[in-house]
């Protein structure tokens, strides 16, 4: 659908969209962030420090313990080949701008890589694509400056049109915006060798997502964490500073 017609459709549907949004806000099941450590060291091999940063999905909402969340699967997989020092900096409901404002809470240490999950809350809060990309750029630059991070693995924006919680036409509207955000993020990564796009490959439906119909379930976290770890490991192996492999 041409974008101009989509704008018209959204304007016509605005009262319905507002009503659906308010209803979901009042009635949606609120799942807690999981228990478990948010930092640690594990494994043997070359040292690798990892920052996991983002929203409720990065925090692991949808499972009961961090071991079953993104951080757990990511670090457990990386620890098979590395001595991994990791830190999780994530919060339910946070936008990219909110993460920028919280960077002073990070420990004053260097990280080799960062794994990021952001975008859904920017969409639901009405952040424009232009402002989101600007905030994304600021976040990456701030992490480079403060923590010497050279490489970022950036999770794509999930297809919100597949979220079981969302009714139409709200599902359609948010799904279209999520698609635009994801395409822009992929393009951004294609133009910057330090940014590595991580596609959302899991099926998102009532059988794989959490009981709230909005957050990942255990199988999605497992695929996401293990798949991202494999991408990090394979990418680091191919990089040869001073003609030497990193790992």
Looking from the CA of 160 toward its CB, the CA atoms found within 13 Å total 24
> What integer pLDDT is reported at residue 113 of this predicted model?
97
> What integer pLDDT is reported at residue 27 of this predicted model?
72
Q: Which two tokens stand for residue 8?
A: 């018209």
Q: Are 69 and 107 in contact (CB under 8 A)?
A: no
Q: Which two tokens stand for residue 202?
A: 């899991």
* CA–CA dist 85, 192 (Å, integer): 26
Q: Are 184 and 170 in contact (CB under 8 A)?
A: no
> What integer pLDDT is reported at residue 29 of this predicted model?
82
- Identify the structural domains of the chain with CATH numbers, from first to last: 3-243 (3.40.50.1110)
> What integer pLDDT is reported at residue 236 of this predicted model?
84
**What is the full per-residue pLDDT of the chain (247 aa) written as tens digits?**
566 557 666 676 767 777 787 768 777 789 999 999 999 999 999 999 999 999 999 999 999 999 999 999 999 999 999 999 999 999 999 999 999 999 999 999 999 999 999 999 999 999 999 999 999 999 999 999 999 999 999 999 999 999 999 999 999 999 999 999 999 999 999 999 999 999 999 999 999 999 999 999 999 999 999 999 999 999 887 765 443 434 4
> What integer pLDDT is reported at residue 101 of this predicted model?
97
Global pTM value:
0.90
User: Quick one: which of 57, 63, 62 has its CA closest to 88?
Assistant: 57
């Amino acid at each position: 659908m041409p974008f101009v017609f989509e704008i018209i459709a959204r304007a016509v549907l605005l009262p319905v969209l507002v009503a659906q949004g308010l209803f979901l806000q009042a009635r949606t099941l609120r799942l807690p962030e999981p228990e478990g450590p948010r930092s640690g060291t594990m494994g043997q091999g070359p040292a690798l420090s990892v920052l996991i940063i983002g929203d409720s999905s990065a925090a692991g909402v949808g499972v009961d313990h961090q071991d079953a969340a993104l951080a757990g699967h990511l670090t457990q997989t990386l620890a098979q080949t590395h001595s991994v020092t990791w830190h999780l900096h994530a919060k339910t409901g946070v936008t990219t701008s909110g993460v920028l404002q919280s960077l002073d809470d990070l420990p004053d240490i260097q990280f080799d890589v960062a794994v990021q999950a952001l975008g859904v809350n920017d969409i639901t809060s009405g952040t424009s694509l232009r402002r989101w990309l600007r905030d994304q750029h600021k976040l990456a630059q701030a992490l480079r400056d403060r923590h010497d991070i050279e490489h970022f693995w950036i999770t794509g924006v999930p297809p919100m049109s597949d979220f079981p919680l969302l009714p139409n036409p709200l599902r359609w509207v948010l799904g279209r915006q999520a698609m635009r955000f994801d395409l822009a993020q992929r393009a951004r990564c294609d133009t910057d060798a330090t940014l590595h796009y991580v596609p959302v490959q899991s099926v998102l439906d009532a059988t794989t997502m959490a009981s709230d119909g909005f957050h990942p379930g255990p199988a999605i976290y497992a695929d996401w964490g293990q798949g991202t770890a494999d991408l990090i490991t394979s990418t680091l192996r191919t990089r040869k500073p001073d003609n030497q492999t990193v790992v």
